[in-house]
Amino acid sequence: MGGLDYSKGTALKNLEHGLKIGSKEFHDGLIARMGWLLPAIIIPVSMLIHLISGNSRDFPFFISESDFPGLERWVFTIGMTISGLVQMLFAYRMWYSMRDDGRRKLMHCTLACGLITGANLTIMAFANMYDYILIHVITASIVFQFGMLWALLAHLSLPKANKKGRAIRYWSLVIALFSYIIMTFSISRAIKELDNYGLENDTIFTLNSIQDAVDVAAYAEYGLFIGLVLALYSFESDFRIKAEN
């Protein structure tokens, strides 16, 4: 099978049920599992370190607040960078291995959304909200929005996918969308009220000023994160069934 195998010595080569990078072979099932398992572990660990180290300014706090100078930043940055790269591999392998099993044109759009999501997740890993707030907000918004769009388009692209996976995907997208609406509404209202505080160019000051909104929005963000992780998880069974056939 061809794909990225442009020459004999190429670093990337498509296999029937996986990808070869250099001398290492990665099965699609492993790529799919790492796609959801890495963020499912990294995010809670970095948040827990941030909390128990005494660096958190309050609770609940946004996920990205755990990208704070210290051990939690190393965990967050390295973990999210790897997660972003794996997400791009995941999106590519889904397109490559399943493009003939579903709606082909829609699969192309799915691939684009997956690559955009993974690329912005990698950028966001380095653009922490304390020093690069504008870049962080932009990349985080793209990750959330295109992540949901990727899962939705992948769901629509594969009408004959595993029934259990489709059911998980449906409810995970409902959770993610509902949480995203709550999070966006809460923060939007709070930002409008910041004029009362004489807005300063300081992320911690801003977050402290709108903590009442964060009390709602942070939990909504946790729900959004869980929804996206579940959506990623739902595709693992499709890769496993593909390999067995």
**pLDDT > 80? residue 100:** no
What pLDDT was estimated at residue 225? 97
Q: Of the ranges 86-90, 94-98, 144-148, which one carries the lowest mean pLDDT score?
A: 94-98
Does 38 or 24 have the greater pLDDT score? 38
Task: Provide mean pLDDT across the span 22-42.
Answer: 89
Query: DSSP secondary structure string, 189-208?
Result: HHHHGGGGG---S-HHHHHH
- 205-242 burial: b if 16+ Cβ within 10 Å, else e: ebbebbeebbebbbebbbbbbbbbbbbbbbbbbbbbeb
26's tokens: 């990665």
The rounded mean pLDDT for the chain is: 87
| pLDDT recorded at residue 3 | 47
Instruction: Decide: 86 and 35 in contact? Cβ < 8 Å.
Output: yes
| pLDDT above 50 for 147 | yes
For residue 189, the model assigns a pLDDT of: 79
Res. 87 pLDDT band, cuts 50 70 90: very high
Give the mean model confidence (pLDDT) for residues 152-159: 90
CA nearest neighbour of 94 among 176, 36, 177: 36
DSSP 8-state class, residue 34: H
Whose tokens are 């995907």? That residue is 169
Mean pLDDT of 213-236: 95
Report pLDDT for 243.
67
Tokens of 180: 């995203």
What residues does each domain of the chain span?
28-244
Is 75 buried (19+), middle (13-18) or exposed (0-12) by CB count in 10 A? buried
How far apart, in whole angstroms, are the C-alpha atoms of residue 50 and residue 40? 16
Query: DSSP letters along 54-94, please?
Result: T--SSSS--GGGG--TTHHHHHHHHHHHHHHHHHHHHHHHH
Per residue in 186-210, pLDDT tens? 988 777 766 655 445 678 878 888 8
Residue 173 contacts residue 148 (beta carbons within 8 Å)? yes
Angle, CA of 87, 110 and 126, to the nearest 5°:
35
Looking at residue 18, its pLDDT comes to: 74
- How many residues are listed for the chain in this entry? 245
Given a cut of 50, whether residue 159 has pLDDT beyond it is yes
pLDDT for residue 7:
40
Query: What is the pTM assigned to this prediction?
Result: 0.88
Angle at 64 between CA 59 and CA 67, to 5 degrees: 100
The pLDDT score that the predictor gives to residue 1 is 40
Question: What single-letter DSSP state applies at residue 127?
Answer: S
- pLDDT tens per residue, range 34-57: 999 999 999 999 999 999 999 999
Going by C-alpha positions, the residue among 235, 227, 40, 35 that lies closest to residue 148 is 227
Percent composition of the chain: helix, strand, coil (DSSP 3-state, to 5): 75, 5, 20
